[in-house]
Structure 1
Amino acid sequence: MSSELKNLMQGLSDALRDLMPIVGIVVLFQFAIIGQPMPDIGAKLAGLAAIALGLTLLLRGIGLVLLPLGEKMAFSLAARGNLALLLIFAFALGFGSTAAEPALFTIAAQAAQVAGAEGLIADEAVFAATLRYLVAGGVGAGIALGALRIAMGWPAMPFILGGYGLAAVLALLADTPLSALAFDAGTAATSVLNIPLILALGIGLAAAIRGRSPLADGFGLVAMASLMPMLVILAGELVL
């Protein structure tokens, strides 16, 4: 058996193990609390197998491609010494990876459906697309700002604490039914697809710049990538 196949089998075993607590909770509540047999048990088992296989392949692909590629590109851009090019790349990486983020598609569709049912919006499709692109733009801006922070050697905490404090103030000022959506959308913006890229960018950039620590300076980009979409949506509510 080849080493790659062994790695895949180990990944599948790990994925099944990680899914067991969720399965256990669902089964416990289904039989002990609800008191009814689980319908379509065959379909449920097939779905569980599909989730485990998909998660295995996704994580393996991330480890083989996205993480090393992100670190290498960050290192190469930092070595060029072109700050503007680095920031453009950081924004494009954040925007592109977030626009394709499945979790964001889900929350945008759900938000559009609920807002449409309550008569808050006229066109659900336009609202969902606008929300996705606003969030993607916010993530791109957050990663670009985080890359600038690493390049300049600024600490992360003032940005993170100040940003979340500003988000709280904007939420109080806006006070609309969509305010809570800003926080959920910002959280959903960073998920399984783009987090590895963001981490790779931060660690690779910190490793490439003299005087920066990958541990102390390379992390914090994910927090800023989650924060900026919240600020963008909350500020948009105040303007509109």
Structure 2
Amino acid sequence: MNNIKETVLEVVYSILPITIVITILQFTLIYLPAETFLQFLIGVIMVGIGLILFLLGVNIGLLPVGEMIGSALSKTKKLGLIIFFGFLLGLVVTIAEPDVRVLSTQVDTVSGGAIPKSILILSVALGVGIFVAISMVRIVFNINIVYILAIGYGLIFLLAAFTPSTFVPISFDSGGVTTGPLTVPFIMALGVGVATVIRGKTASSDGFGLVALASIGPILSVLVLGVIYG
């Protein structure tokens, strides 16, 4: 019951500021049509209810399951299995990420269909999957995350020089949308589960950093897509 109350308050505190700001603007500067403003208020209510249900689902289901999967994979002591399922879970959870679908729709509209939604979603998901797999290797072999980040961003800047300029902002936005409400809790829980089993509770912090690494993958994959389409 406390969990429900905390979640409701968290959502209210999140959406209340923007609701107040837009309401003030409505009656001072912008004066939207009454119908449009009413639609906004209805949308706020629907978003609030949806976020409450979503966050409850994340806390009840996604976080525990992600951590248990990470623990179970680590107990097999099979590196290939850990890497494969890290890639697979990163792939499928990104395909399900709402933010990725919003971005793909916007890009498809702006580009006039030049960049198909399905291709963009798949490339972003593949990028996340590959770097979640790399993150599993990092946790197992205790590789310093700074090295992977340096190499990853070095490749990004190198590819950006050969990619059409229109793809560069899309690629960085692709990296941002993967840090959405579905992908982040699941892959973080997965990493913590793997790290906890491999090196114990004191090293479970090694499970963090997956989001930073996972956001590199989509940037690289979309830049590669730009090189191909360009």
TM-score, normalized by length of structure 2? 0.91
Is structure 2 residue 53 aligned with structure 1 residue 57?
Answer: yes
Q: Contact (CA 8 Å) 1:91, 1:143: kept in 2 or not?
A: yes
Alpha carbons of structure 1 residues 213 and 20: separation in structure 2 relative to 1, 3 Å? same
Q: Is 1:173 the counterpart of 2:162 in the alignment?
A: yes
- The corresponding residue for 1:213 is 203
- The within-5 A match list for 1:104-123 is 104-116=100-112, 121=114
Aligned counterparts of 1:110 and 1:239: Cα–Cα separation in 2: 21
C-alpha offsets along residues 173-218 of structure 1, whole Å, 9 cap, x if unaligned?
Answer: 2233222111111211231111111110111111111267122x11
Q: CA–CA distance in 2 between the matches of 1:42 and 1:116?
A: 31
Q: 1:84 to 1:69 in 2, by over 3 A?
A: same
When the two chains are superposed, the root-mean-square deviation of aligned CA atoms in Å is: 1.9
Structure 1 position 8 matched with structure 2 position 30? no
Distance 2:126 2:10 in 1: 35
Q: Which amino acid aligns with 1:221?
A: L
Further displaced range: 99-108 or 205-214: 205-214
CA separation in 1, counterparts of 2:209 and 2:54?
A: 24
* Residue 202 (structure 1) aligned with residue 191 (structure 2): yes
Aligned pairs for 1:45-84 within 5 A: 45-84=41-80
Shift of 1:53: 1.1
How far does the alpha carbon of each residue in 1:68-113 deviate from its partner, in whole angstroms, 9 at most, with x for none? 1111111111011011011111011011011111111111111111
Quote the sequence identity (%).
33
Q: Which residue in 2 is equivalent to 1:39?
A: 34
**Equivalent of residue 94 in structure 2, options 88, 93, 98:** 98
Give the Cα–Cα distance (whole angstroms) in 2 for the partners of residues 129 and 62 of structure 1: 26
1:135/1:185 contact within 8 Å kept: yes
Aligned residue number for residue 141 of structure 2: 152
Residue 10 of structure 1: CA displacement? 3.7
Which of 226, 230, 233 lines up with 2:219 in the alignment? 230
CA distance in 2, matches of 1:26, 1:158: 44
Residue 138 of structure 1 is aligned with which of 123, 127, 140? 127
Unaligned runs of 5+ in 1: none
> Cα 1:66–1:239, aligned 2, differ >3 Å: closer, same or farther?
same
Deviation at 1:62, TM superposition (A): 0.5
Cα shift at 1:46: 2.5
Cα distance, 1:25–1:172 mapped onto 2, change above 3 Å: farther
SS of alignment partner, residue 154 of structure 1 = coil
- The answer for unaligned runs of 5 or more in structure 2 is none
3-state secondary structure, aligned to 2:207: coil
Q: Which amino acid aligns with 2:220?
A: L
**1:201/1:138 Cα in 2 relative to 1: closer, same or farther (>3 Å)?**
same
Query: Residue type matched to 1:141 in 2?
Result: I
Closer/same/farther in 2, CA of residues 233 and 37 from structure 1, 3 Å limit: closer
Contact 1:8 1:57 in 2 (8 A): no
